[in-house]
Structure 1
Amino acid sequence: MTTISDENGIINNFAKEPQMYYAEAPTTKEQKSYIVWGAIAFLVTAGSVFTAISVS
């Protein structure tokens, strides 16, 4: 942790910054997986909404 004192004697503590890295683009296999999981999530949500509407 970095500690800095200014001219008035006030102490400031700064957290250690994490190492930065660049994100990598998803592969085509990962993109297809995202589409499948998105479709499953949509069906579950639509089914839940349909069930709630039909019960009420």
Structure 2
Amino acid sequence: MPFTKEEGGLLNNFAPETKTYTAEPPTATQKRNYLVMGMAALALVGGLLFVAYSASGVS
């Protein structure tokens, strides 16, 4: 583990560096899947709001 020794004899420890990587842009299939999941989420939230409004009895 890397460390430095200061004047007073104190050790200053450093965490090991993690490996880095570059992110890859999403493929066309992944973009389509994101779109489908977003539409499903919107439909679910819309349905929940409709049920909540219907069950509340607000005219």
- In the alignment, the residues of structure 1 paired with residue 7 and residue 48 of structure 2 have an alpha-carbon distance, to the nearest angstrom, of 61
Within 5 Å, give how 1:15-54 maps onto structure 2. Answer: 15-54=15-54
**Structure 2 portions without partners, runs of 5+:** none
**Structure 1 portions without partners, runs of 5+:** none
If each structure's strand is expressed as a fraction of its own residues, which one has the higher value?
1
Offset, 1:23: 0.3
Closer, same or farther in 2 for the Cα pair 1:28/1:9, shift >3 Å?
Answer: same
- In the alignment, the residues of structure 2 paired with residue 8 and residue 20 of structure 1 have an alpha-carbon distance, to the nearest angstrom, of 35
Q: Whose radius of gyration is greater, 1 or 2?
A: 2
Offset, 1:52: 1.2
| TM-score normalised over the length of structure 1 | 0.75
| TM-score normalised over the length of structure 2 | 0.72
SS at structure 1 position matched to 2:32:
helix
SS at structure 1 position matched to 2:45:
helix
SS at structure 1 position matched to 2:25:
coil
